[in-house]
Amino acid sequence: MSKQLLEQLAVDRQQGHRRGLMISDDLVAVQSRFSDLLNQLNAQNSELLSRVLFLGADNPFGFKPAQRGSYLGSESTMVVIDGWQHTAFNEWLAVIDTLKAGGLLVLLCPKLDQWPALYQQQARAANDGSDSHANFIHRLAQLLPSLDAFSTGLPEPSASPWQINLPSEDQQKCVDAVLRCSRGRTGRPLVIRADRGRGKTSALGIAAAKLVLVGKKIVLCSLHRASVQAAFQRFDDTLAAVDKAKLEKLSVSPDRRQWGEAYLQFYSPQGLLDELPEVDLILIDEAAMLPISSLEKLIRHYPRVVLSSTVFGYEGSGRGFDIRLSAFLNAHYPQWRRQYLKQPIRWSETDPLEAALNSLFLLDAGRQFDNEVEQENSLAVDDVQIEVLNAAELSANQTLLKQVFALLVEAHYQTTPQDLVQLMDARQVLVVAHYRQKLVGVCQAFFEGEPDLAQRDPELLSALIRGQRRPKGNLVAQRLCNQFAEDRFFTLPSLRVSRIAVAANYRRFGVGGVLLRALENAAKSVGASFLSSSFAVTAEVLRFWLKQGFTPLYCGERRDTSSGSCSVIVAKALDADSQSLLNFAARQFCANLPMQFIANAELISGEVLGLLIGSSADDAGILCEHDIQNARRFSLGEISLFQARPNLCRALCALPFQHVCGWEWVIELFLLNKPVAQLIAEQKFKGVAELQQALQAFFATLVGQEFNKEPQE
C-alpha cells in the first residue's frame, strides 16, 4: 500500500495537489492498518513523516497531539485526524490548511454506515446540545467516497511539474498595494481578502520588512500572536535576503523587530486601542475576528490602515464582515482600496483536497451572493411564503441546506463550519422565507429547558440557581435561572432564537418580523412557553426586538470578543405561566439598570441604555411629587445640578425612550457617569454654563410634556 501511495503522492506533488486517505473500519482494525502504514513509511524514510500533525485524544501512534493554535502559519507533510475522538471541525480545517503540496490527510474513522450512530451516542454522552441527530456526519459519510481527493486511482504524471516561486504573483501585488498605501494619500484604507492558504499574512510580513528598511514604524495587529508568526518569519527572511549585515543590526524580541528607529511591533486589538501609538502604518490581520466597532475606531484614528481577512474558512469570517465593513468604508472613506489573493501558495489551484473541503463544509457557500448588487425597491410582505422545518428535514434537502447556510454566511458577522454542524444536528425549529421562489430569510431557534428536571435531578436545578452548573444547549434558560434565582426559567420549555438572517437586498421590508411571527406560531404548536434570544447589543438590533414585542431581561457584564458589545437577553411570553414570570423578571431588571452601569460605562452606550430603561418605562411611569417639583425647579434655575441630580436620575428612568432620543448624552451624564469635560467636548458646548442651559431646557420640556400626570405621594 505504501509504495502505491508514495507514487501517488509523488505525482500529486508534481501537480501541486494534496491527497486524502480514509481508513474506515472498527477501531482496532483502523489502528492496526494505520500502524502498518507508518511502519512501511518509516522503513522507507518517507518525507511524509517529517512534519506530522495529529488531532485526537488517545494517541497510540507516538505523535505529539497538535495544540490548538500552535500550528497557525506553519506547514505540515501529513495530518492525522482521529474521527472517533475529535469532532471540532473548525480545528480539522485549521490543521488541514497547513498541508503543503504532496501532503497527506489521513482520516481515521468508523465504518461509514456506523459512523452517524456512534457520533450520535458520543454527542448525547457529552450533552453538547446536538444530541438529536447526526445529519452532518451522515452527509460527510455519503460524500467522502465520491470525492476525487480520496480516490485510490493513480493520476497521470504532469507534463510540467507544479512549482511556485515565492512570493507568488498575487502576494507581490499585495505587497505593492501595501507599499502604495504607506506612501499614498491618507484616508484610503486597503482591504486584502483571500481564501485560506493564499499567503496573505506572509505578504504582510514582506511588506513590513520593506517599510522598516526605509525607516517606517509599523504595527501588526491580530487577535492571536500565534496567527501572525508567518508574518514575522517572512519579515526576517526578507531582511536576510536583502543584506545579512542589515539582519545583524536587527533587534529581535518575540513581539518586536527593531532596526534603528524603525520597527515592526505586534499589538493585540485591545492593547492597540488602549495605547494608540504614533506609527506610520497599521496592519490588521484576520480583521473579521475583530469587532466592527474596534475597526472603525482604528480606521478613524490612523490615516493609513491595511486590513486583511480570510473570505471563507474556519476563522469565522465571510460576507457578513465584508458587507458591514464595506458599508462603513463607502460612507466615510469612498477612496478605499481592495486587493484579492486568489493563488494558493502551498498547493495548486486545481488541488482536489481543497475542492473536497469546500464541498464537505460548504466553505464557499456565500459566493452565490457575490454578483447580487441590485437592491429591491419594495417587497409585499403578504407574498412572502413561509415554511417551518426541523434539522432532519433541512438536511434531507441539500439544495435548501446550501442556500440556508449561504444566507447565514452572508447575513452574520461570523459563521464557521461548526455552525453547519449545529444547523444540521441541533434540536431546533427552522423558519425559512421565500419571495418569488428565492430564499430571502431564515430564523433558527433552539429548544431550551427541561420540564422534568425538578423530579429527575433536583440537585442540578439547585446548582443552576447557584451558578455552579451550566448545561450545554441551554444558554438563556440557565442564565436567567441563575440571574433571578427562579427555576421556572429552566423547567418551562422555550425556544431561543439563535440566528435570524435576511438577504441583504430584502432588508427593511419586514421579512424579519414575518419570520418571528411564524416562529411564534410554531413555538406554540410544540408547547414552548416563551421565546428568547441572546445577542450582542446595538441600538439598531435592540429596536428590532422591542418592535417585535420582546422584553429585555439581562445585560452581560463583558464585551463580546467578536462584536465588541455586551450581550442582552430578551424574551416574549407565549402563555400565562411565562407572562407572570417575565413581568417579575422585567421589573427587577429595570429597577437594577440605573445602578448597574455607573462603574461599567464602557460596556454600553447612552442610546442602548435609554432603550433598555424606556422599554418598561410604563411600569415605572409615575414619579413622586418631590421628584417632579425638583425637576421643575432645576429647569427654572432655582437649584443646582448637584442638588437636583437624584431627582433628575429618577426622572430619566421613568421616561419612554422617545423623550430622550437625540439627547442620549443626558443619559451618559446621569446614568453612565461620563465626565462633564468629555461631554462638553463631544457635544461642542462652549463650557459648563452652556451644558447646564441645555439640561435645563431638556427637563423644562419634560416637566411640561410628560410629568403633568397625577403624582404619587
Q: Please check the confidence at residue 253 and state whether its pLDDT lies above 70.
A: yes
Q: How confident is the model at residue 153 (pLDDT cuts 50, 70, 90)?
A: low
Give the pLDDT score at 25: 93
Percentage of the chain lying above the pLDDT 90 cut:
59
Q: Are residues 18 and 134 in the same domain?
A: yes
Walk across the sheet containing 385-389 and list its strands: 385-389, 428-435, 438-448, 494-502, 530-536, 566-573, 551-559
**Average pLDDT of span 443-453:** 94
Cα distance between residue 108 and residue 39, in whole Å: 17
- Listed residue (94, 59, 53) closest to 77, CA to CA: 53
**Number of domains comprising the chain:** 4
Q: Are residues 29 and 89 in the same domain?
A: yes
Q: Are residues 240 and 386 in the same domain?
A: no
Give the pLDDT score at 600: 79
Partners of 257 in the β-ladder: 252, 264
Cα distance between residue 515 and residue 528, in whole Å: 17
Indicate whether 255 belongs to any domain.
yes
CB 388 within 8 A of CB 445: no
Which of the listed residues 150, 185, 216 is the one where a domain comes to its end?
150
Indicate whether 204 belongs to any domain.
yes
- Listed residue (499, 372, 516, 387) closest to 446, CA to CA: 499
Q: Are residues 256 and 388 in the same domain?
A: no
Q: Please check the confidence at residue 58 and state whether its pLDDT lies above 80.
A: no
Which of the listed residues 299, 321, 341 is the one where a domain comes to its end?
341
What is the domain-level CATH number for residue 321? 3.40.50.300
Q: Are residues 629 and 512 in the same domain?
A: no
CB 483 within 8 A of CB 512: no
Give the pLDDT score at 713: 44
Q: Which amino acid is at 607?
A: E
Q: What is the pLDDT of residues 168-190, one digit of tens each?
A: 999 999 999 999 999 999 999 99
Partners of 306 in the β-ladder: 190, 283
Give the pLDDT score at 356: 95
How far apart, in Å, are the Cα atoms of 223 and each of 196, 299, 366? Answer: 17, 17, 24
Q: What is the pLDDT of residues 202-223, one digit of tens each?
A: 999 999 999 999 999 999 999 8
Indicate whether 361 belongs to any domain.
no
Q: Are residues 589 and 676 in the same domain?
A: no
Number of Cα atoms under 13 Å in the Cβ half of residue 332:
15
- Sign of the Cα torsion 260, 262, 266, 272 reads positive
Mapped onto helix, strand or coil, the DSSP state of residue 505 is helix
Walk across the sheet containing 19-24 and list its strands: 19-24, 99-109, 76-82, 52-55
Indicate whether 346 belongs to any domain.
no
What is the domain-level CATH number for residue 577? 3.40.630.30
Indicate whether 655 belongs to any domain.
yes
Maximum distance among all Cα pairs of the chain, rounded to whole angstroms = 95
Q: Are residues 479 and 404 in the same domain?
A: yes
Indicate whether 40 belongs to any domain.
yes
Give me the chain's average pLDDT, please. Answer: 88
- The domain in which residue 683 lies consists of 617-705
Q: What is the pLDDT of residues 272-321, one digit of tens each?
A: 999 999 999 999 999 988 888 899 999 999 999 999 988 765 555 456 67
What is the domain-level CATH number for residue 57? 3.40.50.11040
Give the pLDDT score at 510: 94
Which of the listed residues 318, 341, 364 is the one where a domain comes to its end?
341
CB 473 within 8 A of CB 417: no
Q: Are residues 227 and 298 in the same domain?
A: yes
Q: Are residues 12 and 114 in the same domain?
A: yes
Give the pLDDT score at 130: 45
Indicate whether 358 belongs to any domain.
no
Mapped onto helix, strand or coil, the DSSP state of residue 534 is strand
DSSP 8-state secondary structure symbol assigned to residue 65: B
Q: Which helix (H) or strand (E) holds 659?
A: none
Q: What is the pLDDT of residues 326-362, one digit of tens each?
A: 889 999 999 999 999 999 999 999 999 999 999 999 9
Bridging pattern class, strands 337-341 and 190-194: parallel
Indicate whether 461 belongs to any domain.
yes
CB 365 within 8 A of CB 406: yes
Give the pLDDT score at 350: 92
pTM of the model: 0.86
Q: Are residues 80 and 50 in the same domain?
A: yes
- Listed residue (155, 264, 266) closest to 214, CA to CA: 264
Q: Are residues 217 and 298 in the same domain?
A: yes
Q: Are residues 576 and 641 in the same domain?
A: no
